[in-house]
Every structure is written in structure tokens, then in C-alpha cells.
Amino acid sequence: MDFVRYSCENGELNGLHHRFIQPPQIAYFVTTCDKHGNMNTTPVTMGTCIGHNFFSFTLSNLHAGADEWDLDSNDWKDGIKQGYANLREVPECVISYYGHDMVRESWIAGCPVPKGISEIDVMGCTPLPSKVVKPCGIAECPINLEAKVLHVHKLGKRWTNFICEVVYGTVHKSLVEANEHGPLAGYGMLAMDPVFEVMIASGNTPETSTYRLYYDRLDFDKIERCPADVGYDADWIGTFEQWIHDEVGHGHITPAEEARAIELKKLWEINRDPVSNAAVRAELTALLRKAVGK
């Protein structure tokens, strides 16, 4: 295989396109407010949610190389994004997921609306009062997540990472029903036809020569279930012993090979040094490859 290699200098991968690092991600709005209660809504794709019973949401916002809030002048330095400024002043926000029907509104929200003027009003959308945090949500968005900032981390020269705790959620009833019944049951927000930011580029015709965001949408006909001929049959993952046993049923290995794989696993757990225990490592790996049909 041929490779193009990129060196990392001063914390930057010089020449490496950011889409090789950050894949297209689902689009959403982040609404914040300043100390006067003025709302700002920013279209965002840099961020993700992790957790199960406790949800944290990580998002990044531009600080454009400026330092900290000047408490004496009570003003932000030039170049700082409104969302960043608001989050440092009022560390709360609402994350609002939107579908394809609001692509035009997302572009409007990204226009240079003057600070203190609400993008929600300019978009022609409806503010959704929050239950816990000061910023509002957007009624037209099927999902609104109220969140509070837990940690703030400066990333390099231009970005700041905000780790937030989701404290309240509001979901359109129709989306909840679609998640419970019908062809998209269990898919959650996918039923709202979400969009994913692909790139920022100009087109190849006079009408499309200016820079614009490019979006992609899911093709529901291409959604696939993991294959049934490999893995533990009764659940998602299972234990090693359950997995290997079911590969016998799939016809990939024999009962004797199953017993040998379990024995090798125990021998490997005693000594995981890849040099001194290389023979066990190699035999176990070969058996596992056979178990999954490789």
C-alpha cells in the first residue's frame, strides 16, 4: 500500500485535511445567552454525546486566539465567537437537533447576525422556554437538550472544548412515537431525517461558485444489521466462552477447537508478554481467525 504521511509540528498536522480526522457529523444548533438574556444560536457539527444514565455532551467553539474574559472592561476581544463568549459568561446551553427540513434555517443562523440579536427570531423560528437552564430551545427542532458546562479546556490556538452535562430533554411526541412503532423503531433521532455536514466548498457552475456548506443525508435502504453467522447468538456481545461456543454452532470450529481456545485463553491470561508467550498468542489468534471465518 502507498501512503501519504503528515508530520505533527506545534500540535498541528500540517497539510492533513481535517475531514480525514473529523468525519461528517450530525448537525445541530447550540443556543446560549449572555448575562442580559440575549440569545445566540450557532449551527454546530463539532461535538458528540457519551453516556447512558448520565449524559455528557462535548462541543467545541472558536475563541480565535484571544485569551480570557477581561473582567474590568467587561468586553470580549475581537474575533471571539458569540457562542464562546456567552458560554464563558453563562455556562449553560441548549443543544437542538434539526432535520433536513431546517437546512435553510441552519445557514441563516450561521450568517453574521449582530451580537444580541437572536438568530431564532431572524430564522423565523419559535423560542422554546427551558425548564432548567437560562437559554431557550427551538420549538421547531424535534430534540432539545438542556445542558450545563462542567469543564472548559483550551485546545491549541483557536479552539475551546466545553464538556457539558445534559440536565433536561424535550422531544417531539411524533418522534417518540416513531421510535416506539413503525419502520424506524429504535432509531431515535434518525427518524427526523438528520443532515451531516460534509464540507465547505464552492461549486463548479456560476450559480454555485460561492462557498457554501455541503450536507449529506442517510439512505435508510442501506442500513444493515450485523451478520448473524458470527458472534454470540443470544445477545450483543456475551462472554468469550459464549462466543466461542456459538461459533461451533455456526460451523466455523469444532468442539475440540472450542475447548482448545478456552485453554489457550487461560494460558494467555497468565502471561500476556507477546515475546515470551508468543506461541500461545499465535495459536489463539489463529483459532480466533478461524472462528470468525477469516
C-alpha cell at 198: 460534509
pLDDT of residue 57: 66
pLDDT of residue 59: 65
153 DSSP β-pair partners? 161
pLDDT of residue 142: 96
pTM of the model: 0.83
What is the C-alpha separation between 157 and 17, in angstroms, rounded? 18
pLDDT of residue 171: 96
Q: What is the 3-state secondary structure (H, E, C) of 60-84?
A: EEECCCCCCCECCCCECCCCCCHHH
pLDDT of residue 55: 63
pLDDT of residue 193: 93
pLDDT of residue 149: 93
Q: What is the DSSP string of the chain?
A: -------EETTEETT--GGGTS---B-EEEEEE-TT--EEEEEE-SEEEEESSSEEEEEEEE-TT----BTTTTBPPTT--HHHHHHHHS-EEEEEE-BGGGHHHHHHHTS-PPTTS-HHHHHT--EE--SSSSS-EETTSSEEEEEEEEEEEEETTTEEEEEEEEEEEEE-HHHHHHHHSSTTTT-GGGGG-BEEEEEEE--SSGGG-S-EEEEEE--GGG--PPPSSSS-SSSSS--HHHHHHHHHHTTSS-HHHHHHHHHHHHHHHH---TTTTHHHHHHHHHHHHHHTT-
pLDDT of residue 72: 38
What is the C-alpha separation between 160 and 61, in angstroms, rounded? 5
> pLDDT (tens digit, 0 to 9) for every residue of the chain, 294 residues total?
898 878 776 656 677 777 777 788 899 999 999 999 999 999 988 777 777 665 666 766 555 444 554 433 344 455 567 888 888 889 999 999 999 999 999 999 988 888 889 999 999 999 999 999 999 999 999 999 999 999 888 776 667 788 899 999 999 999 999 999 988 889 899 899 999 988 888 878 887 788 888 889 988 888 888 899 999 999 988 999 999 999 999 999 999 999 999 999 999 999 999 999 999 999 999 999 999 998
